Amino acid sequence: MSDTSSYVAGAIQRAKRRRSKWNLLLAAFTVISIGLTWYFLALLLIALRNLFFPDEAFLVNGTHLGNIVVHVLPFFPSLGIGLMIANLCVWLVPPARRALDREASGSRDGGFKASNLALMNGTGAIAAITIPLAILGATSYFYLTRHYVAHRTWIFGRERHYAWSEVAKIETACWYNRGSQDSYTLVMRDGTRVGILESHPDFFRAYPEIASAVSGGSYVFDSSRVERGCYRSLSPPWRQILTSKPDDSLSKSR
């Protein structure tokens, strides 16, 4: 990590000397490279998660915590990777390379090779921690089929299957926390809780099949955590979903 520390210290010193307009190009490449790297790393983790889903599943997603890990942790290695890509892009533009080399001439670690080597070392150390954790997050998921609910907390835990008849309770909630928030949770007879409202469009499309799957089951529907102010902000379809038993919705559609 000493290479990374020296790179950061050198970067601060170089920033004080930078006067060339080519630094604007470097900044633009940096923002774009970090953003694209973050995006594609998250896509790779989602692709890994999708390998666990069978074709017959009609609703699939990560758990709430799994989704946070999958989407947030890739940001940290993306910083170093994005900076290295940005350095390379600017290095490929001869006028920019010459201008920035002149600015870095008084710094021992300010050149293209030295700065990227320091970034590579630091990024490797960060990736060694964050990528395994992100992979663990990608293996925390659920999926629904017509016959059962599947749930897995992480790669070292087994995938558990619950028949729809094992759903003992459905809990819904809607509240304000920097905007409207909601949840839809299946509570199994053994106490396992499976939150299945991670993507509103996907859940809305799958809701008729969810209603059909639980139809006739002996479960409790609890919408007591749907706050009044939040309820008023919902569209009519979502009001019905969060405050009515799926069986009721199914009977109305018939």
**Is residue 146 in a domain?**
no
> Where is the domain boundary, 82, 106, 138?
138
pLDDT at 114: 79
Tell me, what's the pLDDT at 19? 61
Domain count, the chain: 2
- Are residues 12 and 56 both part of a single domain? yes
**One domain for residues 122 and 217:** no
Note whether residue 144 is domain-resident: no
Question: Is residue 131 domain-shared with residue 178, that is, in the same domain?
Answer: no
For residues 134 and 16, membership in a common domain is answered with: yes
- Per DSSP, what are the bridge partners of residue 188? 167
Residue 79 lies in a domain: yes
In a domain, 185, yes or no: yes
Domain match, 164 and 131 both: no
Domain boundary among 103, 138, 173: 138
> In this structure, is residue 119 part of a structural domain?
yes
Asked whether residue 216 falls in the same domain as residue 119, the answer is no
* pLDDT score recorded for residue 23: 80
Q: Give residue-wise pLDDT tens across range 155-208.
A: 888 999 999 999 999 999 999 877 889 999 999 999 999 999 999 999 999 999
Same domain, 28 and 121: yes
- Indicate the residue among 138, 168, 189 that finishes a domain: 138
The whole domain housing 43 covers: 2-138
Q: What is the per-residue pLDDT for 58?
A: 98
List the pLDDT tens digit at each of the 254 positions of the chain: 455 555 555 555 555 555 678 788 888 999 999 999 999 999 999 999 999 999 999 999 999 999 999 999 999 999 999 999 998 998 899 888 888 777 766 555 556 777 888 889 999 999 999 999 999 999 999 999 999 999 999 888 899 999 999 999 999 999 987 788 999 999 999 999 999 999 999 999 999 999 999 998 899 999 999 999 999 999 999 999 999 999 876 556 55
- pLDDT value of position 99: 80
Residue 147 included in any domain? no
Q: Write down the residue that tokens 């819904």 correspond to.
A: 172
What's the confidence (pLDDT) of residue 102? 76
Rounded Cα distance, 16 and 104, in Å: 11
